[in-house]
Amino acid sequence: MPDFTSEELSEAHRALISTLHKCEKIDATKLGKSQQTLLKRRIAALKVALTLIEKEHGPKERER
């Protein structure tokens, strides 16, 4: 696994949090079935990525 600086992890975390919030605001009932599935999977993937960044970066990031 590549080594990332603390700054890189923080910036990635902020970007992923922003994207997650935007995805969670989407009214899935206005989407087609395949788009709903894609949205659910995208949200799940973002949560996994955030968890891994938090695990790598330490508890400090979890507070944000």
What's the 3-state SS for the chain? CCCCCHHHHHHHHHHHHHHHHHHHHCCHHHCCHHHHHHHHHHHHHHHHHHHHHHHHHCHHHHCC
Taking the C-alpha atoms of residue 20 and residue 33, their distance in angstroms, rounded to an integer, is 20
Q: Contact 54/62 with Cβ under 8 angstroms?
A: yes
Confidence band, pLDDT 50/70/90 cuts, at residue 64 = very low
Position 44 in a domain = yes
49 belongs to a structural domain: yes
Confidence of residue 57 (pLDDT cuts 50, 70, 90): confident
The confidence score (pLDDT) of residue 3 equals 87
What is the total count of domains within the chain?
A: 1
Which pLDDT does position 34 carry in this prediction? 98
pLDDT confidence band for 24 (50 / 70 / 90): very high
Domain presence at residue 23 = yes
Under a CB-based contact definition with an 8 Å cutoff, are residues 60 and 53 in contact? Answer: no
pTM of the complete model:
0.83
**Domain range spanning residue 27?**
6-59
